[in-house]
């Protein structure tokens, strides 16, 4: 009832706290039912701060006396049903054999559960290049956090949503429906406000996969720390204040070998240790490439690890072999490239044309990648800086950039 009155007046918990003289925490505890019988004086302060009519005020005071069990609220009913089953879990399956990410996984769990001021949104971001394992990591962390966010763990893959202006409305509508809204409001602003109001009084974990930029996330940032947002993004969300931003690179060689062994079986990997290391290196120690290469071998019990190493030896054809079932490194890279703007695409093409994996700024003089272009490609996780002050573009990225006249394929065509 308290929440209904507050939301219908467009007040945040902080506004109500300031107007009533109660603490934000006291108000939050009342709204989520943790405190069921406030002191009558507190209830009177709240009624005054909300400017309730006599009847609504009497109802609120009676509800406060009776522990919130009675009677029906007279405020407009919140548009999200209160009867939604608690703990709706939309998370995809956990990756049981996740390797090499224990430290960052702990860091993200800590970031989303540590004590923060009640009015600060909890946000953590995982970024990295194509196939670096962003999805697997956020899913793992989300599973670890299920108990801390018992009112639901929602999951949206933004690759499946339309690009352009309808995207925000589609995302907000999707999340509101997951929280039980039957008829989400039409306007994007109203949807965002209603979603934030709901997330502010529940303990929900929202996982967004394949986010393009800040615009996808900003409307969801609440003025409350009860819920949390865990995001896998193609680039860091630099203008948002995140409790943690984790950037995924290649696995260590040891973890890469471990991942291969867990896919093909320990005995097969142990039988040919040198070939296993060669395959791990040929796969750039990239989780997606390793998973695909391992699966190739699993599907061919009569082939040896050294056959796979030979198959992947030639860098010019390697990418063609890294596709199995619904996993394809090329498709992942193209999806990643499809999020670039025109300037970044031009910069990427000019770098790809230089030839060779390493390059320095002097190689770029007069090219679109000079200056800001390189910075933007670094942020988009398509280049890596090297210790000698130069840059690296991996051959799997270069191979997908194609010729100067080939358009980079839009994401819809990749899927
Ligand atoms: N640390 C890891 N240990 C074991 N397997 C992993 C690890 N990281 C990712 N994988 C596996 O590698 C594959 C690709 O990972 P994932 O989909 O998480 O990458 P991504 O960065 O999200 O890729 P995309 O660019 O396509 O979004 C999946 O099959 C996943 O299970
Ligand atoms: Mg992903």
Q: CA 107 from chain center: how many Å?
A: 15
Phi, psi of 86 (to 5 degrees): -70, 155
> Which ligand 1 atom sits nearest the alpha carbon of residue 98?
3
> Which ligand 1 atom sits nearest the alpha carbon of residue 332?
26
What does pTM read for this prediction? 0.79
| 19: CATH | 1.10.260.40
- Ligand 2 center from residue 235 Cα (angstroms): 12
Of the ranges 149-153, 315-319, 339-343, 362-366, which one carries the lowest mean pLDDT score?
Answer: 362-366
- Ligand 2 center from residue 134 Cα (angstroms): 5
Q: What is the mean pLDDT of residues 311-318?
A: 92
Using the 3D structure, point to which of 248, 266, 288 is the last residue of a domain.
Answer: 248
| Residue 391 domain-assigned (yes or no) | yes
Cα–Cα dist 61/64, whole Å: 5
Between 357 and 348, the higher pLDDT residue: 348
C-alpha distances out from residue 223 to 14, 202, 298, 394, Å: 8, 13, 49, 41
Kindly state whether residues 235 and 104 are assigned to the same domain.
yes
Between 405 and 278, the higher pLDDT residue: 278
Number of Cβ within 10 Å of residue 278's Cβ equals 18
| Residue 357 domain-assigned (yes or no) | yes
Cα–Cα dist 364/395, whole Å: 18
| Residue 81 domain-assigned (yes or no) | no
| 237: CATH | 3.40.50.300
Q: Say if residues 2 and 56 touch (Cβ distance below 8 Å).
A: no
Q: What is the mean pLDDT of residues 244-270?
A: 96
Kindly state whether residues 172 and 203 are assigned to the same domain.
yes
Considering 279-293, 341-355, 359-373, the range whose residues carry the highest mean pLDDT is 279-293
Kindly state whether residues 93 and 212 are assigned to the same domain.
yes
| Residue 151 domain-assigned (yes or no) | yes
String of DSSP letters for 330-365: HHHHHHHHTT--HHHHHHHHHHHHH-SSEE-GGGGT
Per-residue confidence (pLDDT) for residue 413, from 0 to 100: 37
Q: What is the span of the domain harbouring residue 163?
A: 88-248
Mutate to test the pocket of ligand 1, among 135, 298, 326 (most ligand atoms within 8 A of CB): 135
For the cut 90, the answer to whether the pLDDT of residue 102 exceeds it is yes
Kindly state whether residues 237 and 275 are assigned to the same domain.
no
Kindly state whether residues 225 and 266 are assigned to the same domain.
no
Kindly state whether residues 302 and 153 are assigned to the same domain.
no
Per-residue confidence (pLDDT) for residue 51, from 0 to 100: 82
Per-residue confidence (pLDDT) for residue 85, from 0 to 100: 41
Per-residue confidence (pLDDT) for residue 86, from 0 to 100: 60
243: CB partners within 8 A, 6+ apart: 111, 112, 114, 116, 122, 123, 124
Kindly state whether residues 182 and 260 are assigned to the same domain.
no
Kindly state whether residues 313 and 399 are assigned to the same domain.
no
Kindly state whether residues 321 and 358 are assigned to the same domain.
no
Kindly state whether residues 291 and 349 are assigned to the same domain.
no
| Residue 74 domain-assigned (yes or no) | no
Of the ranges 54-58, 145-149, 236-240, 382-386, which one carries the lowest mean pLDDT score?
Answer: 54-58
| Residue 258 domain-assigned (yes or no) | yes
By three-state DSSP, how is residue 122 classified?
A: strand
Phi, psi of 128 (to 5 degrees): 165, 170
For the chain, how many structural domains are there in total?
A: 4
Cα–Cα dist 295/305, whole Å: 12
Residue range 141-174, pLDDT digits in tens: 999 999 999 999 999 999 878 777 789 999 999 9
Per-residue confidence (pLDDT) for residue 403, from 0 to 100: 46
Give the residues surrounding ligand 1 with Cβ less than 6 Å away. Answer: 95, 97-101, 128, 130-136, 210, 259, 287-288, 291, 332, 336
Of all protein residues, whose CA lies closest to atom 8 belonging to ligand 1?
A: 133
> Which ligand 1 atom sits nearest the alpha carbon of residue 139?
18
Which candidate, 314, 321, 260, 311, places its Cα nearest to that of 285? 260
Number of Cβ within 10 Å of residue 375's Cβ equals 12
- Ligand 2 center from residue 210 Cα (angstroms): 6
Using the 3D structure, point to which of 248, 264, 284 is the last residue of a domain.
Answer: 248
Q: How confident is the model at residue 402 (pLDDT cuts 50, 70, 90)?
A: low
Q: What is the mean pLDDT of residues 173-201?
A: 93
Kindly state whether residues 240 and 257 are assigned to the same domain.
no
Of the ranges 77-81, 120-124, 393-397, which one carries the lowest mean pLDDT score?
Answer: 77-81
C-alpha distances out from residue 231 to 108, 129, 221, 264, 287, Å: 11, 14, 12, 31, 19
Cα–Cα dist 144/94, whole Å: 10
Kindly state whether residues 102 and 240 are assigned to the same domain.
yes
Cα–Cα dist 9/328, whole Å: 50
Per-residue confidence (pLDDT) for residue 112, from 0 to 100: 96
For the cut 80, the answer to whether the pLDDT of residue 30 exceeds it is yes
Per-residue confidence (pLDDT) for residue 41, from 0 to 100: 86
DSSP annotation of 147 reads: G
Which candidate, 144, 137, 148, 174, places its Cα nearest to that of 227? 148
Using the 3D structure, point to which of 291, 325, 359 is the last residue of a domain.
Answer: 325
Phi, psi of 245 (to 5 degrees): -125, 120
At 235, list the tokens.
């680039």
Q: What is the mean pLDDT of residues 324-337?
A: 92
Residue range 43-69, pLDDT digits in tens: 888 888 888 877 778 888 888 888 756
Percent share of the chain, pLDDT over 70? 91
For the cut 50, the answer to whether the pLDDT of residue 246 exceeds it is yes
Per-residue confidence (pLDDT) for residue 73, from 0 to 100: 46
């Amino acid at each position: 009832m308290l929440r209904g009155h507050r939301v219908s007046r467009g007040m945040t918990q902080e506004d109500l706290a300031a107007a009533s003289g109660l603490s934000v925490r006291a108000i939050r505890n009342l709204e989520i039912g943790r405190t069921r019988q406030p002191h009558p004086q507190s209830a009177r302060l709240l009624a005054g701060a909300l400017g309730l009519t006599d009847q609504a005020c009497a109802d609120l005071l009676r509800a406060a006396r009776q522990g919130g069990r009675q009677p029906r609220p007279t405020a407009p009913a919140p548009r999200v049903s209160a009867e939604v089953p608690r703990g709706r879990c939309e998370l995809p399956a956990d990756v049981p054999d996740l390797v090499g990410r224990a430290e960052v996984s702990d860091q993200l769990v800590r970031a989303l559960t540590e004590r923060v001021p009640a009015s600060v949104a909890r946000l953590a971001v995982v970024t990295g290049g194509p196939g670096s394992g962003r999805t697997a990591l956020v899913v793992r962390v989300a599973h670890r956090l299920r108990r801390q966010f018992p009112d639901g763990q929602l999951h949206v893959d933004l690759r499946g949503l339309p690009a352009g202006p309808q995207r925000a409305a589609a995302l907000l509508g999707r999340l509101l429906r997951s929280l039980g809204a039957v008829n989400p409001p039409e306007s994007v602003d109203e949807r965002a406000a209603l979603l934030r109001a709901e997330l502010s009084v529940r303990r929900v974990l929202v996982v967004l996969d394949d986010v393009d930029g800040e615009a996808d996330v900003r409307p969801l940032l609440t003025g409350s720390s009860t819920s949390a947002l865990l995001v896998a993004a193609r680039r860091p969300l630099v203008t948002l204040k995140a409790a943690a931003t984790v950037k995924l690179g290649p696995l260590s060689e040891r973890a890469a070998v471990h991942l291969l062994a867990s896919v093909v079986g320990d005995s097969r990997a142990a039988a040919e240790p040198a070939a296993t290391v060669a395959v791990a290196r040929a796969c750039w120690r990239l989780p997606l490439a390793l998973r695909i290469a391992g699966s190739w071998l699993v599907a061919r019990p009569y082939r040896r690890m050294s056959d796979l190493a030979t198959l992947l030896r030639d860098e010019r054809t390697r990418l063609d072999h890294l596709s199995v079932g619904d996993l394809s490194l090329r498709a992942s890279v193209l999806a990643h490239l499809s999020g670039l703007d025109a300037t970044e695409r031009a910069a990427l093409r000019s770098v790809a044309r230089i030839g060779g994996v390493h390059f320095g700024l002097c190689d770029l003089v007069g090219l679109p990648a000079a200056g800001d272009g390189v910075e933007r490609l670094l942020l988009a996780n398509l280049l890596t800086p090297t210790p000698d002050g130069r840059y690296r573009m991996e051959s799997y990225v270069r191979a997908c950039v194609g010729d100067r006249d080939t358009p980079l394929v839009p994401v819809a065509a990749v899927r």
